[in-house]
Structures are given as C-alpha cells and as structure tokens.
Amino acid sequence: MGTRLKDIWDEVVELVEVQTWDEFLDEWSDVVFGLGRLVGWLYGVNYVSIYGDQRHVNKIKKRMQEYGCVRSKRHASVHL
C-alpha cells in the first residue's frame, strides 16, 4: 500500500504545480488512476476503474503502442 500512497502523493504535488486547464485535467486523471490502484489493492485486484481516470488510461494505451512501456519517456529511460 505504501507505494500506491506515495504515487498518489507525487501526483497531487504535480497537480498543484499545473499552469493550464489541460495540465490540470491530465494530473487530475493521474491522481484518480492512483486512487483506482489503491482501491484495487484493497479489493485484492490490480486496479479498479474510477470516473475521471480515462485520460490517464488513454495515455497508457498510447505509450504502449508507441514504445511498449506505460511510463513516460522521461521516466521510462531509467527502466528501459
């Protein structure tokens, strides 16, 4: 659970730093996705879809198609 909470916190920090509405929507979706992971953990599954996570889900799908990793290119370079 600790990693999930840290991930949510990191996204909240990014959320308060946004400068545009579009950035806000992206970061909000990231926060909601993190909450879905936390709820999923509580139910014994990887993830539970929560209203508002679709932008993040679409971002993941696009990344998987482009370069086969769910992480952003900035973070993926550390792991690839």
Domain count along the chain: 1
* pLDDT for res 77: 63
In this structure, the number of other CB atoms found within 10 A of the CB of residue 33 comes to 24
The string of pLDDT tens digits covering residues 14-73 is: 999 999 999 999 999 999 999 999 999 999 999 999 999 999 999 999 988 988 888 777
Distance CA 30, CA 26 (A): 6
* pLDDT for res 76: 62
Please check whether residue 40 is in contact with residue 47, taking contact to mean a CB–CB distance below 8 angstroms.
Answer: yes
44 in the Ramachandran plot: left (φ > 0), alpha (ψ -120 to 50) or beta?
Answer: left
Q: Given pLDDT bands bounded at 50, 70 and 90, which one contains residue 75? A: low
Burial class for 26, CB neighbours closer than 10 Å (0-12, 13-18, 19+) = middle
Residue 35 structural domain: 2-79
